[in-house]
C-alpha cells in the first residue's frame, strides 16, 4: 500500500507542471493519501468478513 501511495503521489507531482489549469497540490496529495487509507481499511474489512 505504501508503495502505491508513493507512486501515485510522485506521478501527481511530476504531472502537475504540465496541467492546463492550476491545482492545489496540497489538497491533491491529501486526497491521494485519504483515498488509499480508505482503500486499505476496506481491504482489511473484506478479509475479516470473508
C-alpha dihedral over 18, 24, 26, 27, to 10 degrees?
-120
Q: What is the pLDDT of residue 44?
A: 67
Number of domains comprising the chain: 1
For 9, residues 6+ apart whose C-beta sits below 8 A from its C-beta are 29, 32, 33
- pLDDT tens track for 12-48: 999 999 999 999 999 999 998 888 777 777 776 677 7
Task: Residue 21: give the domain boundaries.
Answer: 2-49
* Confidence label for 5 from pLDDT (cuts 50, 70 and 90): confident
Q: What is the pLDDT of residue 2?
A: 76
Which H or E run includes 36? helix 25-49
Amino acid at each position: 500500500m505504501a508503495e502505491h501511495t508513493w507512486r501515485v503521489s510522485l506521478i501527481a507531482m511530476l504531472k502537475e507542471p504540465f496541467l492546463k489549469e492550476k491545482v492545489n497540490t496540497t489538497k491533491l496529495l491529501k486526497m491521494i493519501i485519504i483515498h488509499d487509507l480508505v482503500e486499505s481499511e476496506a481491504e482489511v474489512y473484506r478479509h475479516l468478513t470473508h
